[in-house]
Amino acid sequence: MMIISHKFVVNIPDNLSERTIYISIKYGTAVHKCCCGCGEEVVTPFSKTDWQLIFDGESISLFPSIGNWNFNCKSHYWIKNNCIEWAPQWSRDEIEKGRIDDFLIKNKYYNSKKLKDRKHFSLLKKIKLFLNKKYKIN
Ligand SMILES: [Zn+2]
């Protein structure tokens, strides 16, 4: 089984070691060299719609899987408890579907977030109006 070690860093170093994932909490992202050995650098930003990092005090896991569709290798794997678990390669159709799903998920998330922000804003406005009326402050 292939093992990857993790390093918590503030800044991602210029030269990445093989089989090491560099995690920057400050910048909310991780970077590692593609586990197939092709040398490409894989960037996995952390967000609700990108990757989630699990750190159990000893090892790290990333969800969902890492699909390097933009690289020649098209490798696809999971990082679970610092182990590389190879996942089946995706066909072109599956990659396309994955991209569309990803777009839809992101779209839905950001739209609901916008809506929430707007609701929040209108509530603040109402409170302000109420206070203005009550205390005649502007
Ligand atoms: Zn690769």
List, for residues 88-135, the tens digit of each pLDDT value.
Answer: 888 889 988 988 899 899 989 888 888 787 777 777 787 888 777 777
pLDDT digits (tens, 9 = 90+) for 62-100: 999 999 999 999 999 999 999 999 998 888 899 889 888
Residues 81 and 99 in one domain: no
Residues 53 and 20 in one domain: yes
Residues 98 and 73 in one domain: no
Distance 71 CA to ligand 1 centre (A): 7
Distance 74 CA to ligand 1 centre (A): 7
Residues 27 and 81 in one domain: yes
Q: Report the sign of the C-alpha dihedral through residues 58, 63, 67, 70, in that order.
A: negative
How many domains does the chain fold into? 2
Residues 64 and 15 in one domain: yes
Cα–Cα distance, 7 to 21 (Å, whole number): 6
- Identify residue 57 by its one-letter amino acid code: G
Give the domain extent around 35.
2-86
Residues 63 and 108 in one domain: no
